[in-house]
Homo-oligomer: A and B are copies of this chain.
Amino acid sequence: MRISQLSAASGVPIPTIKYYLREGLLPQGEQTAATRAEYDEAHLRRLRLIRALLEVGRVPVATIAKIIAAVEDEDMPVHTMLGTAHYALASPAEPSPGDAEHVRARERVEALIAGLGWDVKPEAPTRDELAEILVRLDQLGMPATDERLRDYADVTMRLVSEYDMALIPFHGPRETAVETLVIGTVLYGKAFDVLRRLAQESESARILGT
């Protein structure tokens, strides 16, 4: 299809498509004449992925670019590619790592992961991300109890193994594997978050009897 048809099918304006082409988020179309290129279903699907990450997940363009670079680097083994994409989604709040509070919280995170027997790399940015949340909760006088963290962890592991991981074609095409992981992480994460807010509203209405 032509760029105008790609724009109509995806709802993405032509200048935005050209921007994604320049930034390498979208692969070039097949050049059929000096000023004409052909695009296909793969381009349409990539555009939908970009828009879903941007609009629903609020994932920054630079992060999306990192994920796509990992997909397109054919020399990168699948597990490294998935890890790279996954780590790109982390957004630790500017941590205060020298800080004694952060160091203590980080030790709690290590103990939690060890206690769960989870296999997480020492350099995973998620460790600091969780530690910084624990610091903020402490400062705000709403510390996370061990019981609550452990319960959250058990629930999330059940959901991850039952749904997220069951769908990833680990030995299939690179692009499909990373897409499934990223969509699962971002969009299903958002779905869970929205359901949580719906549950909070419902419980709050029940308690206040409105």
Contact = CB atoms under 8 A, between A and B. Distances in A.
A202 interface: yes
A201 interface: yes
A180 to B, nearest CB: 7
Contacts of A207: 165, 170
Interface residues of A, number: 88
Nearest to A189: B193
Interface stretch (A12-20, A21-29, A64-72, A82-90): A82-90
A142 B196 contact: no
A45 interface: yes
Contacts of A139: 48, 52
Contacts of A48: 136, 139-140
Which among A148, A183, A192, A208 has the greatest number of chain B C-beta atoms within 10 A? Answer: A192
A200 interface: yes
A163 to B, nearest CB: 6
A178 B48 CA distance: 37
Interface string A69-110: 000000000110011001001110110100000000000000
Nearest to A90: B197
A198 B152 contact: no
A144 interface: yes
Interface string A152-166: 110111011111110
A118 B56 contact: no
Nearest to A80: B210
A90 B195 CA distance: 11
Contact of A197 (B11, B86, B152, B163): B86
6 contacts: A45-B140, A48-B136, A86-B200, A152-B192, A160-B203, A192-B193
Top 7 A-B pairs, shortest CB-CB distance: A118-B202, A55-B93, A119-B205, A52-B136, A160-B199, A157-B199, A156-B196
